[in-house]
Amino acid sequence: MKSTTKPLLDAWQWQMRASCRGLDSAVFFTPHGERGRARKRREEAARAICRSCPVSTACGSFATASGQYYGVWGGRTEAERRVERGVPRPR
């Protein structure tokens, strides 16, 4: 019987080509208490990295499929993914 599962390495291979590989994850995830302009600047810095990334589509798809609630993935912020999922903004 032939297996229909893919080797785990194949499923994650896109990460090897990610522009963010080896960078400080603090660029992509909100530190406690970050708000306003500081948050916008950090998110824009993350999005700039994602714009030049050859695997941003795969990254964004992974974030959506796995329900990543935090961070910038594939150039999309937490708020943007929340809207895509139809989840109301937290108060």
**Binding residue per annotation — 22?**
no
22 contacts 30 by C-beta, under 8 angstroms: no
**Binding residue per annotation — 50?**
yes
Residues constituting the chain:
91
Confidence at 13, pLDDT banded by 50, 70, 90: confident
**Binding residue per annotation — 59?**
yes
**Binding residue per annotation — 20?**
yes
Confidence at 6, pLDDT banded by 50, 70, 90: low
Predicted local distance difference test score (pLDDT) of residue 8: 65
What mean pLDDT comes out for the span 80-91?
79
Tokens of 1: 């019987």
- Rounded Cα distance, 60 and 76, in Å: 7
CA nearest neighbour of 65 among 80, 85, 88, 87: 85
- Going by C-beta distance under 8 Å and a sequence separation of 6 or more, which residues neighbour residue 46? 20, 27, 28, 72
Model pLDDT for residues 17-70, shown as the tens digit of each residue: 999 999 999 999 999 999 999 999 999 999 999 999 999 999 999 998 888 989
